[in-house]
Amino acid sequence: MPTPVAPLVEKIPRSSRDRWFAFLSAAIVFLSVMGVRAQTRYGYVEVKDVAAPVVPREFRAAWVATVGNIDWPSKPGLPVTQQKAEMIAILNRLQQLKMNAIILQVRPTADALYPSKNEPWSWYLTGNMGQPPNPYYDPIAFTIVEARKRGIEFHAWFNPFRARHPSCKGKVSASHITRKRPDLVRRYGSLEWLDPGHPEVQSHSLNVILDVMKRYDVDGIHIDDYFYPYPEKTRGGKLMPFPDQSTYARYRRLGGKLSVSDWRRDNVNRFVKRLYLSIKKTKPWVKFGISPFGIWRPGYPKQIKGMDAYETLYANALLWWQKGWVDYFAPQLYWPIDSPGQSFPVLLNWWSAQNLRNRHLWPGISVWGTKMDRNPREVVNQIAATRRQPKVHGQVIYGMNGLLTNSLGIASLLAKHSYNVDVLPPAMPWLGRKQPPKPRMSFGLDLAAKLAGFHWKIASTKPARHWVLQQKIKGKWKSKVLPGTQKTFFIRGELVPQLPEYIAISAVDRNGIQGPPIVARKSVTVGAPVRKTK
- Cβ atoms of 9 and 24 within 8 Å: the answer is yes
pLDDT at 395: 98
Average pLDDT over residues 473-498: 92
Helical ranges in 388-441 per DSSP H: 400-405, 410-413
Q: Cα separation of 440 and 305, whole Å?
A: 56
pLDDT at 253: 97
In whole angstroms, what separates CA 336 from the centre of its chain?
A: 24
Q: How far is CA 319 from CA 84, 120, 389, 509, in A?
A: 40, 34, 22, 30
pLDDT at 132: 98
pLDDT at 9: 32
16, pLDDT greater than 90: no
Query: Model confidence over 339-350: pLDDT tens digits?
Result: 999 999 999 999
Of 148, 108, 141, 142, which Cα lies nearest the Cα of 125?
Answer: 108
Query: Model confidence over 310-329: pLDDT tens digits?
Result: 999 999 999 999 999 999 99
Q: Please, what are the domains in the chain?
A: 17-55+431-526 (2.60.40.10), 59-427 (3.20.20.80)
What are φ and ψ of residue 207, in 5° steps? -65, -40
Q: Is the peptide bond before 497 cis (omega within 30 degrees of 0)?
A: no
Residues 6+ apart with CB under 8 A from 518: 29, 46, 438, 439, 440, 441, 456, 504, 505, 506
422, pLDDT greater than 60: yes
Query: Model confidence over 200-243: pLDDT tens digits?
Result: 999 999 999 999 999 999 999 999 999 999 999 988 888 999 99
Question: What average pLDDT does the structure give for the chain?
Answer: 90
- 475 by Cβ neighbours in 10 Å (0-12 / 13-18 / 19+) ranks as exposed
pLDDT at 446: 87
Q: Sorting pLDDT into bands at 50, 70 and 90, what band is 112?
A: very high
Residues 6+ apart with CB under 8 A from 509: 434, 435, 436, 462, 464, 465, 515
Of 55, 52, 51, which Cα lies nearest the Cα of 426?
Answer: 55
Q: Cα separation of 16 and 18, whole Å?
A: 5
261, pLDDT greater than 90: yes
Q: What H or E segment, with its residue span, contains residue 201?
A: helix 199-215
pLDDT at 373: 58
Which of the pair, 430 or 31, is modelled with greater confidence?
A: 430
Average pLDDT over residues 22-49: 60
pLDDT at 369: 57
pLDDT at 297: 98
Q: Cα separation of 96 and 347, whole Å?
A: 30
28-32 LR contacts (CB < 8 Å, sep 24+): 28/442, 29/5, 29/440, 29/441, 29/442, 29/518, 30/5, 30/441, 30/442, 30/443, 30/520, 31/5, 31/6, 31/7, 31/442, 31/443, 31/444, 32/4, 32/5, 32/6, 32/7, 32/443, 32/523, 32/525
pTM of the entire predicted model: 0.92
- One-letter amino acid of 502: Y
Query: Model confidence over 152-190: pLDDT tens digits?
Result: 999 999 999 999 999 998 899 999 999 999 999 999 999
Q: Sorting pLDDT into bands at 50, 70 and 90, what band is 4?
A: very low
Q: DSSP state, 313? A: T
Average pLDDT over residues 261-271: 98
Q: Sorting pLDDT into bands at 50, 70 and 90, what band is 5?
A: very low
State percent of the chain over pLDDT 90.
Answer: 83
Query: Model confidence over 77-106: pLDDT tens digits?
Result: 999 999 999 999 999 999 999 999 999 999
Average pLDDT over residues 493-504: 88
Average pLDDT over residues 416-429: 97
pLDDT at 32: 46
pLDDT at 524: 86
- 312 by Cβ neighbours in 10 Å (0-12 / 13-18 / 19+) ranks as middle
Average pLDDT over residues 140-150: 98
pLDDT at 371: 52
Which of the pair, 170 or 515, is modelled with greater confidence?
A: 515
Average pLDDT over residues 136-165: 98
